[in-house]
Amino acid sequence: MKQTKYTGPGIFVLSSPSGGGKTTLVKFMKKKFSAIVYSVSTTSRPPRPGDKNGHDYNFISAEAFRKGIKEKNFVEWALVHGNYYGTPSSNIKNALKKGKSILLDLDVKGARQVKKLFPDAVLIFITAPGIKELSRRIIARGQDDMNTIRRRLKNAKEELRQIKYFDFLVMNDKIATAQKNMVSIYGAELCKIKKV
């Protein structure tokens, strides 16, 4: 007979195409649950006005980031527009050691990298009900020119093809419903019995 154990704290990874509403749900989960630690990513890009080190990102030099890669200090990382972004493995280990769950905000590639290293990680894909709605939301934000919007929508179509690698899909049509679904997923995962 297989042994069982209470799962307890877990690793929760949220991914979403632009306009899916991931940032809103991340903020909600951070506020709702004191037992959740948010994983602050590390980057080699310079801080922008208003950025707070240790809150928005942990800012380090490109040289220090490359050293971290060689020393396998990141569970996932990517080079985006000439700057490095990644999740230090210490973020996850420290949270779990303290008996806390950890919430990561990653793109689909980063999410899959985490899943390879931590098979029990819970991957949650957040999206709006269709490309038209994603497009409407991106345009409504008023942050991007048309070329950027087209690129974001092209990326969104590619990201939507990755849903099959995720454990849960949260359709963010009505924010209250999406929040309830996030709470349900989190609660169910904490109560799950793991066969060992």
Averaged in consecutive runs of 10 residues, what is the pLDDT profile of the chain (196 residues)? 54 91 92 94 92 92 97 94 93 93 94 94 91 78 77 84 94 94 94 74
The confidence score (pLDDT) of residue 5 equals 46
The confidence score (pLDDT) of residue 123 equals 97
The confidence score (pLDDT) of residue 11 equals 95
The confidence score (pLDDT) of residue 3 equals 44
pTM here?
Answer: 0.85
The confidence score (pLDDT) of residue 72 equals 95
Superfamily of the domain at 4-195: P-loop containing nucleotide triphosphate hydrolases (3.40.50.300)
H, E, C per residue of the chain: CCCEEECCCCEEEEECCCCCCHHHHHHHHHHHCCCEEECCCEECCCCCCCCCECCCEEECCHHHHHHHHHCCCEEEEEEECCEEEEEEHHHHHHHHHCCCEEEEECCHHHHHHHHHHCCCCEEEEEECCCHHHHHHHHHHHCCCCHHHHHHHHHHHHHHHCCHHHCCEEEECCCHHHHHHHHHHHHHHHHHCEEEC
